[in-house]
Amino acid sequence: MFESVYGAFIIMGMRICDVTLGTLRTILVVQGRKYYAAMIGFVEVLIWVFVIRFVVQNLDHIPNLIGYAAGFATGNILGITIEQKIGLGFVQLNIISRHFTDAIADKLRKLKYGLTILPGEGGSGGVAIIVTIIPRKYQKKAISIIEEIDKTAFITVQHSLPYRGFIHGSRK
């Protein structure tokens, strides 16, 4: 019995590792970081092969199957959590403020965030749209700065993959 439970925990731990790596690898693939993705993928698959070999050899041990599934679920949670902490890549923030566009732009520029202000037309007339592309690790900080100035500002966040040019905020 002890060996059965011990084996399940080993499987679970290895699955946590390979699924966590797989989650990070997927994000790197989306961002076009192919060499990092390949290195992580190599380790991920190597771990998976060892795990699946052990599971297939012991299919009659239900704790192993439960450990496999629990490791998969936990690995997803851990992988996403780690990636959120690291904040890989860039995001584009689009900010629309009815009355505080200049104050938001001034504050962000003082903190060395590059931005562009575009004219726009909303349902109630003219608006200004602030567009900034920043490293994702600064996303929460930038949003809190915006909300300090205008709690009702309309903010959208989207993944950004800069193609060319200078990203001012990335030099922070």
Among candidates 122, 125, 124, 108, which has minimal Cα distance to 168?
Answer: 108
Place of tokens 């600064």: 138
Helix (H) or strand (E) holding 92: strand 90-96
At residue 171, the pLDDT reads 44
The domain boundary residue, chosen from 45, 61, 86: 86
Q: Do 98 and 112 sit in the same domain of this protein?
A: yes
Number of domains composing the chain = 2
Q: Do 82 and 143 sit in the same domain of this protein?
A: no
The domain boundary residue, chosen from 60, 86, 112: 86
Q: Do 51 and 94 sit in the same domain of this protein?
A: no
pLDDT in tens, the chain (172 residues): 556 788 899 999 999 999 999 999 998 898 888 999 999 999 999 999 999 998 888 878 889 899 999 999 999 999 999 988 888 888 999 999 989 999 999 999 999 999 999 999 888 888 999 999 999 889 999 999 999 999 999 999 998 877 777 665 444 4
The residues, any chain, with a CB within 8 Å of residue 129's CB and separated by 6 or more, are: 94, 95, 96, 117, 118, 119, 120
The span from the CA of 53 to the CA of 60, in Å, is: 13
The domain boundary residue, chosen from 56, 86, 116: 86
At residue 172, the pLDDT reads 43
Place of tokens 């019995």: 1
At residue 170, the pLDDT reads 46
Could you count the other beta carbons within 10 Å of the beta carbon of residue 71?
A: 25
Among candidates 15, 10, 13, 20, which has minimal Cα distance to 61?
Answer: 10
Q: Do 120 and 95 sit in the same domain of this protein?
A: yes
Its domain, for residue 102, covers 90-171
The span from the CA of 25 to the CA of 89, in Å, is: 13
Question: SS in 3 state form for 131-146?
Answer: EEEEEHHHHHHHHHHH
At residue 2, the pLDDT reads 56
CATH number at residue 104: 3.30.70.120
- The pTM score is 0.67
